[in-house]
């Protein structure tokens, strides 16, 4: 393996709903053709979702960006052609016809992998937009549309404990600042 080979993140477009299949196809094919040195990881960014099924909470993972798979690779030589030739792969995101696939910017990679740039954390620490006892509306997630009262503000985790009335019963929810808005 060449010492100048730099791993960068690329987004591979896949047929929707087949992200995990495409991920395993890529991993299998890359090792089969002996190019494992050029592809360090293949990730399907997922989020944990809680759904109600027959009155039970069911936890499952859902693709965060349906139809996209992230690949950390050094796209030299045959690597892009091998990846493009895999069943379920449509192509690379950002490539022009006949052009090279475009790597993701570091900030995009960090955001997709759940790491937040330290600068934005410092900015956010200046003001906490919520106070205990305030009424808020849930704007994201399974409880979208419900109103609740803030019980606790966890500044470190940037989370709120919101007491929401669900089916007449008060239920505490842990929500991020982004999932609620002031009424």
Contacts of 31 (CB under 8 A, 6+ apart): none
For the chain, list residues with pLDDT below 50.
1-4, 116-126
Its pTM stands at 0.56
Please state, in angstroms and as integers, the Cα–Cα distance from residue 14 to each residue in 9, 10, 63, 88, 107, following that order: 16, 13, 12, 6, 23
Domain with CATH 3.30.70.940 in the chain: 8-115
Per-residue confidence (pLDDT) for residue 124, from 0 to 100: 45
Superfamily of domain 8-115: NusG, N-terminal domain (3.30.70.940)
Contact 42, 10 (CB under 8 A): no
User: For 133-167, what is each residue's pLDDT tens digit?
Assistant: 999 999 988 888 999 999 999 887 888 999 998 88
Say if residue 86 is exposed, middle or buried (CB neighbours under 10 Å; 0-12, 13-18, 19+). Answer: middle
pLDDT at position 120 is: 45
CB 12 within 8 A of CB 104: no
Candidates 2.30.30.30, 3.30.450.20, 3.30.1330.10, 3.90.1150.10; CATH matching 124-182: 2.30.30.30
- In the chain, which residues fall in CATH 2.30.30.30? 124-182
Alpha-carbon span 23 to 28, nearest angstrom? 9
**Could you tell me how far CA 29 lies from the centroid of its own chain?**
24
Find the angle CA(51)-CA(53)-CA(59) to the nearest 5 degrees. Answer: 40
**Cα separations in angstroms, 157 against 112, 115, 147, 161, 164:** 18, 13, 22, 11, 20
Tokens of 132: 């205990």
Q: Which pLDDT belongs to residue 158?
A: 80
């Amino acid at each position: 393996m060449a010492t100048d080979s730099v791993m960068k993140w690329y987004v591979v477009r896949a047929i929707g709903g087949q992200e995990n299949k495409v991920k395993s196809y890529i991993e299998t094919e890359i090792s089969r053709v002996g190019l494992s040195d050029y592809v360090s990881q293949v990730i399907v960014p997922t989020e944990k979702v809680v759904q109600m099924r027959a009155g039970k909470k069911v936890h499952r993972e859902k693709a965060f960006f349906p139809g996209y798979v992230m690949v950390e690779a050094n796209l030299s030589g045959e690597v892009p052609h091998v990846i493009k030739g895999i069943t379920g792969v449509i192509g690379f995101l950002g490539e022009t016809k006949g052009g090279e696939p475009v790597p993701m910017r570091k900030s995009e990679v960090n955001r997709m992998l759940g790491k937040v740039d330290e600068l934005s954390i410092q900015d956010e620490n200046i003001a906490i937009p919520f106070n205990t006892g305030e009424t808020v509306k849930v704007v994201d997630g399974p409880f979208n549309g419900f109103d609740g009262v803030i019980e606790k503000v966890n500044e470190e985790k940037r989370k709120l404990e919101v007491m929401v009335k669900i089916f007449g019963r008060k239920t505490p929810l842990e929500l991020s600042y982004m999932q609620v808005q002031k009424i």
